[in-house]
Amino acid sequence: MLFEVAGLTKRFDGLTAVSDLSFGIDKGEIIGVFGPNGSGKTTLLSLIAGMLAPTSGTITWKGQPIQGAKPHDIAASGVVKTFQNPQLFAELSVAEHLMISGHLMLKRRLGWRRVATLFNPDTGHAGADLERRAGEVLKLCRLDAARDQTAAELSYGEEKMLGVAMALMCEPELLLLDEPASGLGQAEIENLEAVLRDLRAHGTTLCVIDHKVGFLGKLADRAISLHHGAKIAEGTPEAVLRDPGVIAAYLGHQRGPSHA
């Protein structure tokens, strides 16, 4: 197993957001995580990415324990999370956002020497590497045409794709995506699906949260479903989405699985 969590638990005061959760991910897999609002999906990704420390349990990445490590160290080791809503700088261009994100990648490669590239980003070996990577990422994410637009000029779908592109600048081996399809129209969802399939074809392993069953059910190789932070089903997406416990969990919430 490339990645494994075992007995993972996160409590916030009296509330158990993630409860004794265990599952693994193989290299090159796309894992889908389903679950109604408040079932612990975002908390799970935040625990994996190091934004939260678990109350108990282990997270193992390439045979090493990473639970409780700092987010930048986890990202530098190849595990990178996108946000439900990316935080962008309205006045900066798409390309500039990628250059900023690329500095995390440089930290991994160069350590403290990356500081020089902050002041002279377009000269030298490191700056050229960054430019090349940004070009590849823009193409992969179908953002070439928007390269010089500011974030303020982007559509919502482009904003979300820029969030994915920024994560890709860190060269993730395991990419964690929190509701990448939420708020997108059908054409944007198809575009996203094509981008994620391309990514997998390039060797990236994906763990994707989404409510859109039509999108994630088709994309994922394997799925797990959470309810009150615990795993209530695991298997093919079709089997998980037919599971009576999963259906009941969704019916107890206002927002059911959306068949987009």
Ligand X SMILES: Nc1ncnc2c1ncn2[C@@H]1O[C@H](COP(=O)(O)OP(=O)(O)OP(=O)(O)O)[C@@H](O)[C@H]1O
Residues binding Mg ion (CB under 5 A)? 41-42
- Residue 45 or 138: the one with the smaller Cβ distance to Mg ion is 45
Q: How far is the CB of 136 from ligand X (least distance, A)?
A: 31
CA gyration radius, the chain: 18
Site for ligand X in 26-55 (CB under 6 A): 35, 37-43
Report the relative pairing of strands 15-25 and 64-65 from DSSP bridges.
unpaired
Site for ligand X in 219-248 (CB under 6 A): none
Report the relative pairing of strands 230-235 and 205-209 from DSSP bridges.
unpaired
What's the chain's length in residues?
A: 260
Site string (173-212) toward ligand X, x via CB under 6 A: ----------------------------------------
Q: How far is the CB of 48 from ligand X (least distance, A)?
A: 12
Q: How far is the CB of 197 from Mg ion (least distance, A)?
A: 23
Residue 37 binding result from Mg ion, ligand X, none, given CB thresholds of 5 to 8 Å by partner type:
ligand X
Contacts of 117 (CB under 8 A, 6+ apart): 103, 106, 110, 124, 126, 127, 130
- Residue 48 or 141: the one with the smaller Cβ distance to ligand X is 48
Residue 15 binding result from Mg ion, ligand X, none, given CB thresholds of 5 to 8 Å by partner type:
ligand X
Q: How far is the CB of 239 from ligand X (least distance, A)?
A: 21
Strand ranges inside the chain, DSSP E: 3-12, 15-25, 30-34, 56-61, 64-65, 79-81, 174-178, 205-209, 222-227, 230-235
Retrieve residue 53's tokens.
């420390």
For residue 205, give the 3-state DSSP assignment: strand
- Residue 124 or 252: the one with the smaller Cβ distance to Mg ion is 252
Q: How far is the CB of 39 from Mg ion (least distance, A)?
A: 9
Asked if 25 and 235 touch (Cβ cutoff 8 Å), the reply is no
- Residue 138 or 232: the one with the smaller Cβ distance to ligand X is 232
Query: How far is CA 26 from each of CA 2, 16, 172, 219, 221, rounded to the nearest angstrom?
Result: 5, 27, 15, 16, 11
Chain residues in the site for ligand X (CB under 6 A) = 12, 15, 17, 35, 37-43
